[in-house]
Amino acid sequence: MGEFEDRERFIPLRKSEVVDLICEGGFFDSTDKAKFREFAHLLESVFHFEFQEKVEKLKELYYPFNPDPVTSTFVDYSKERLKEMEVEFIEKFAELLDDANFDEMTKDELKYAFEVDSEISVNVETNLEDFDKLLLYKRGESVHSITVSRFFSLLKKELRLDVIERLVMLIRFSAEYEVKGLSSQIDVRSDKMYLKIFKNVPKPDLEMLFPNSKVKMRMVDKLKIGLPLVLGGALTGSKLLDIFGGSLSLTVMGGAVGALIGYIIKSFISYKNTVLKYITTLSQGLYFRNLDNNAGVFHSITNEAEEEETKEVLLGYYFMLKHHPDPIKASEVDDEIEEWFENKYGVRLDFEIDDSLSKLERLELAEKLEGGLWKVINLNKSLERLDYVWDNYFKYNV
């Protein structure tokens, strides 16, 4: 059972497509294809019910920390209870993200993102001390190639960007954080937790996602603004020296001073326009990359988790079923699945066979034998078992 540091746990195919690929693999006849599709539907329903319970629990725990609730409450939460709820919420939210095959970003990854300036977007700086709590989770990494313009669009340069396909952010501001500028009109509270999910984030652009980011002007823009002012000032200064030397009239002096004022005004307008351009770029990047906010993030991640759990179990069950009634080692199943994806479809992943088997065992669809061997029950019994599980969630008609 291989472990790959350069591969993702995430299965980058839709659940329906995985079912189609399995059914078209040549192992099932037409009757068993229909049964397997029904098996997949039942399995999906079971996981959907289980995850609905998880998301309802998360919503209850998150309610006092939600910055934009749509309902009011008569509950008076004590400080002790709020602390307990915060700890439990973060723990269960991390579990949900793990179910959806997200991984927490390391300090080294965050350091890299903060140290490297963006070549395609706005350069910004962020003070992490403004946050009392900061958690970042990522899933899916790829390399994108883009072409950018340089020197007034006269030159073209091709860039290769390391991109995070999905990024989840949890933030709570420190009590000392003060909102300044136009953002001061926004109600930012240190007793709330802010959740965000973004897509297709280049690693060097990670800083632009933070709410306290400040725009840093590039050197080329500083030169565009500063050089005309410096040259204009130098030219005006030389004329003033000539005036004081008696070689030019007061009329010319007035013109020189007027020109200097004009350079100052032009540089100020250029500065304001450049800042506006930067802010517009920043806003557009956030607009098109933001997928969901606060409590809505639960539903997005829960949907992803249901998909991942279902795909993992379907694949584990199918590849063990191909060996039925003979038992097989978990490591052999893991290798088969990874080779199947890579050799037939060009998809390289690090399949989590242990997660798949633990769920199959919990649902009594697979049994662990001596010597690290595993065995699944046949398709007919599996359908009966899942139908029994579904029917017994509620037992009022027994």
pLDDT in tens, 118-160: 655 556 677 888 899 999 999 988 876 665 555 555 556 666 7
> What CA–CA distance (Å, rounded) separates 253 from 260?
11
H/E stretch holding 94: helix 79-99
Q: 222: which 2 tokens? A: 């500083």
Residues 182 and 226 in one domain: no
Count of domains forming the chain: 3
Mind spelling out the 3-state secondary structure of 243-299? HHCCCCCHHHHHHHHHHHHHHHHHHHHHHHHHHHHHHHHHHHHHHHHEEEECCHHHH
Parent domain of 261 = 219-276
pLDDT of residue 326: 93
Tokens 């992803």 map to which residue?
A: 304
Residue 73 lies in a domain: no
250 shares its domain with 176: no
Residues 226 and 197 in one domain: no
Residues 193 and 224 grouped into a single domain: no
* Residue 33, burial from CB neighbour count under 10 angstroms (0-12, 13-18, 19+): middle
> Helix, strand, coil shares of the chain as percentages rounded to 5?
55, 15, 25
Are 61 and 134 in the same domain?
Answer: no
Same domain as 349, residue 267: no
pTM: 0.79
Give domain status of residue 186, yes or no.
yes
Tell me, what DSSP letter sits at residue 137?
E
3-class SS letters over 24-61: CCCCCCHHHHHHHHHHHHHHHHHHHHHHHHHHHHHHHH
Residues 199 and 230 in one domain: no
pLDDT score of 113: 75
Residues 121, 212: one domain? Answer: yes
| Residue 364: per-residue pLDDT | 96
- Answer yes or no: is 282 within a domain: no
The verdict on residue 198 lying in a domain is: yes
Give yes or no: residues 201 and 245 share one domain.
no
Do residues 53 and 127 both lie within one domain?
A: no
Residue 169 lies in a domain: yes
In tens digits, the chain (398 residues) has pLDDT values of 455 667 889 999 999 999 999 999 889 999 999 999 999 999 999 999 999 999 999 999 999 999 989 889 899 999 999 999 999 999 999 999 999 999 999 888 888 777 776 655 556 677 888 899 999 999 988 876 665 555 555 556 666 778 889 999 999 998 888 776 545 556 788 899 999 999 988 887 787 788 877 766 555 555 555 556 555 555 555 555 555 555 555 555 555 556 656 656 666 565 555 555 655 555 556 667 889 999 999 889 999 999 999 999 999 999 999 999 999 999 999 999 999 999 988 889 999 999 999 999 999 999 999 888 999 999 999 999 999 999 998 877 65
Given 201, 216, 231, the domain boundary residue is 216
Of 195, 216, 237, the one marking the end of a domain is: 216
In a domain, 88, yes or no: no
Residue 76 lies in a domain: no
Answer with the one of 193, 216, 239 that is the final residue of a domain.
Answer: 216
Structure tokens at 161: 């960007």
The tokens for 208 are 């632009």
Residues 268 and 329 placed together within one structural domain of the fold: no
Same domain, 136 and 170: yes
Whether residue 281 is contained in a domain is answered as no
